Amino acid sequence: MTHPSILASHPALATLEDTWPDEAGCAALAERLALTLAPTLRQGGSHVIELHGTLGAGKTTFTRHLLRALGVQGRIKSPSYAVVEPHQVPGIDIQHFDFYRFNDPQEWEDAGFRDLFGANGLKLVEWPDKAAGLLPCPDLQLLIEPLDEHRRQVRLQACTAAGIASLNAMAQAGEAAHG
Distance in angstroms (rounded) separating the CA atoms of residues 158 and 144 = 15
pLDDT over 70 for what percent of the chain? 91
Domains and CATH numbers, the chain: 15-178 (3.40.50.300)
Sign of CA dihedral 19, 25, 30, 36: negative
DSSP state of 100: T
Residue 125 has pLDDT above 90, yes or no: yes
Distance in angstroms (rounded) separating the CA atoms of residues 156 and 138 = 11
Residue 80 has pLDDT above 50, yes or no: yes
pLDDT digits (tens, 9 = 90+) for 152-171: 999 999 999 999 999 999 98
What separation in angstroms does the CA of 42 have from each of 45, 138, 166? 7, 19, 15
